[in-house]
Every structure is written in structure tokens, then in C-alpha cells.
């Protein structure tokens, strides 16, 4: 579709993607097209406008003054246009396009991937692009519609909704439990082989709440450290003690490779959040997924409770 002056709207969308991602290759990945196509469309847009929009270097592209002015003017308009189109189609039962979701590797493998398989069956015309990484990704730069994050959101400026929560379990292997003295109070954990998850802000400090409401803060020492919950689960199945989220813990407990320690003592629960890039209104595909995943997590929690998932 051409705008007045014979400017193609698609060229502006490509321009927006390059400006937000900082590169032709990254923009191509976001839009699902070849890098050469991005270069052609940007060149065509610059030719029709008669100005250079980007300064190109070997590593990235940078907006020129003219490009920055165009970006600031067009970006909110393009967002509103996209939202208007999404709203127009939100009354339809069929969702289409591509839903790009970011998640940690372990949460995707254990929970999110099976949920997405079910969600995809409900919407056969919707493409789903799941990106997994244990680093916190830039949603705008990578073109992510929604990121699933676990734990505690430290950035209050994030645009997010809570989908559910989960418990944290102290776990060890049956073999290791037999090799040490009775692990029946938080204090004894200070003397065990502790495995630390370095993704946590304070992986060696834990606050326990007892059955009568009393609290104890435990400081542990660790010579074994790991940066992945899945790797942590594998390590603790061989040696030592650690804290796992209930999804990873129950995976090991169900396989009888882990046992839960101190079931009468609880650790602070953590949340599961859907985090979004800036924007005025969520697209219909994102709203539908959020509603579906919130219910999926609630159903899973109830199922685990029926199966004795608390393992007390």
C-alpha cells in the first residue's frame, strides 16, 4: 500500500524494525525475511525521500538526524495503526500472524512448550516463534510480543501482569541425604554441600518460615555454582543440597531422583509474569495467549495438588 508521495507503508514498517533493532540482520530476523530484502526496501525509502536515514558501519546502523526525526514521528503512528488492525480482528475466533514469545530454557522445556502445543491446536492459522534464553532479552530489539519471566520483577517500570506463582523447595538426592546427618532444621543446611544458582540476586541467603510462623534467615557457603535451573537439578541429583522451583523439583521428585527436605518450612513464593514491550494496547493474539496460559498454569497447579505435588 502506497502513502501520498508513493511511499510504501511496508517500507516504513521495515524502517521501524531497523531503527528499533539497530541492524539489517536483526530486523530481518524480526520480520522473517531475507537481509537483502531489508537493504533493498531501506534503499528504496531513502531514494524516494531524498535523504539518508541511516549511517552504516561494519557492526550496526545508526539513525541520521533525518532518520531520527522520521522515526520519532512515525513510530507512534505505526503502533496505533497496528493496534487498530489488531482490534478490528479481535472479534474473530481465528488468530493469525506470528506470536513471538521469550522464556527461560528450563521453563520452556518443562511448562511453556507443552502449553504452546495445546494453544497452537486452538489457533491453526497462528504461527508461534518461541525464543529461549536465560538472559533477559530486549523485547523491542528482538521483536518479542511477550516474555515469560519467573521470580521477582525488580524493574517496577516493566509492563507486566502476574499469571501465577510457584513454591521453592529445598531438595537433595536420596543418596546424599543418607550420607549426612538428619536434615530436619534450617540450621543444619549451613554444614552441607550447597549448590548455588547464580541467576538469583542472593543465592546464598534464604529466609525460612516455620510451621508456627517463626522465621529463620540462613546464610550458606558454596563451592559449586551453576547458572541454569536444569543444570542445577542435574547436579543436585548427584550431590549436595539446593533450592529448586517447584516445577524443576517435582520433575526430579517424580523420577525418584530427588527428595524434598524441610517440608514444614517454607521459602518465599515467586511469581510467573507476562512482560510486554511498550505500547498502548495488547494485540488480540497476546491477550488470547495470556488468558490461556494463566488458566493452563492454574490447572497444572491443581493437578499437582491432586497428585500430592506438595510431597510433604
pLDDT digits (tens, 9 = 90+) for 79-105: 777 766 665 655 555 788 889 999 998
Q: Are residues 292 and 237 in the same domain?
A: no
- Find the CATH number of the domain harbouring 263: 3.40.190.290
Tens of pLDDT, residue by residue over 57-69, are: 767 788 999 999 9
Same-domain status, 292 and 254 = no
Q: Cell 509492563 maps to which residue?
A: 159
CA angle 61, 67, 71 (to 5 degrees): 105
Cβ partners under 8 Å of residue 168, min gap 6: 243, 244, 245, 246, 267, 268, 269, 270
Q: What is the mean pLDDT of residues 118-129?
A: 93
Are 263 and 281 members of one domain?
A: no
CATH number at residue 143: 3.40.190.10
Q: Are residues 181 and 264 in the same domain?
A: yes
Does 25 share its domain with 71?
Answer: yes
* Residues 76 and 21 placed together within one structural domain of the fold: yes
User: What is the value of pTM for the model shown?
Assistant: 0.67
Cell, residue 199: 541467576
Please work out, in degrees rounded to the nearest 5, the angle formed at the alpha carbon of residue 85 by the alpha carbons of 78 and 161: 85
- Whether residue 130 is contained in a domain is answered as yes
Residue 312 maps to a domain: no
Q: What is the DSSP letter of 211?
A: T
CA distance 61 to 54: 6
Q: Are 289 and 119 within 8 A, CB to CB?
A: yes
Residue 101 belongs to domain spanning: 97-166+271-306
Find the DSSP H helices in the chain. Answer: 9-21, 24-31, 35-49, 65-89, 105-107, 113-122, 139-142, 174-179, 229-236, 246-254, 284-306
Backbone angles phi, psi at 193, to 5 degrees: -75, 100
Is 311 inside any structural domain? no
Let me know whether 152 and 296 are in one domain. yes
Place of cell 554444614: 191
pLDDT band at residue 1, thresholds of 50, 70 and 90?
very low
Q: Which of 147-151, 206-210, 303-307: highest mean pLDDT? A: 206-210
Amino acid at each position: 500500500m502506497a502513502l501520498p508521495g508513493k511511499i510504501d507503508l511496508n517500507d516504513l514498517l521495515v524502517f521501524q524494525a531497523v531503527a528499533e533493532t539497530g541492524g539489517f540482520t536483526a530486523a530481518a530476523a524480526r520480520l522473517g525475511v531475507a537481509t537483502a530484502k531489508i537493504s533493498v526496501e531501506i534503499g528504496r525509502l531513502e531514494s524516494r525521500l531524498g535523504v539518508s536515514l541511516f549511517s552504516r558501519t561494519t557492526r550496526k546502523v545508526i539513525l541520521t538526524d533525518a532518520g531520527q526525526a522520521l522515526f520519532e514521528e512515525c513510530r507512534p503512528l505505526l503502533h496505533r495503526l497496528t493496534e487498530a488492525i489488531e482490534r478490528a480482528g479481535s472479534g474473530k475466533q481465528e488468530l493469525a500472524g506470528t506470536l513471538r514469545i521469550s522464556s527461560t530454557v528450563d521453563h520452556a522445556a518443562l511448562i511453556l512448550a507443552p502449553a504452546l502445543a495445546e494453544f497452537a491446536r486452538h489457533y491453526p492459522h497462528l504461527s508461534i516463534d518461541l525464543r529461549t534464553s536465560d538472559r533477559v532479552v530486549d523485547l523491542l530489539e528482538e521483536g518479542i510480543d511477550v516474555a515469560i519471566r519467573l521470580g521477582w520483577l525488580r524493574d517496577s517500570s516493566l509492563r507486566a501482569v502476574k499469571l501465577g506463582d510457584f513454591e521453592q523447595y529445598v531438595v537433595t538426592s536420596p543418596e546424599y541425604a543418607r550420607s549426612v546427618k538428619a536434615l530436619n532444621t534450617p540450621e543444619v543446611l549451613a554444614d552441607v554441600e550447597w549448590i548455588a544458582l547464580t541467576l538469583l540476586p542472593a543465592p546464598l541467603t534464604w529466609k525460612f518460615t516455620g510451621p508456627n510462623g517463626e522465621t529463620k534467615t540462613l546464610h550458606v557457603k558454596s563451592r559449586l555454582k551453576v547458572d541454569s535451573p536444569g543444570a542445577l537439578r542435574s547436579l543436585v541429583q548427584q550431590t549436595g543440597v539446593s533450592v529448586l522451583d517447584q516445577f524443576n523439583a517435582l520433575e526430579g521428585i517424580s523420577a525418584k531422583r530427588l527428595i524434598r527436605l524441610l517440608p514444614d518450612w517454607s521459602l518465599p513464593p515467586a511469581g510467573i509474569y507476562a512482560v510486554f514491550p511498550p505500547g498502548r494496547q495488547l494485540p488480540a493474539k497476546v491477550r488470547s495467549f495470556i488468558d490461556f496460559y494463566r488458566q493452563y498454569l492454574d490447572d497444572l497447579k491443581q493437578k499437582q495438588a491432586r497428585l500430592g505435588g506438595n510431597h510433604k
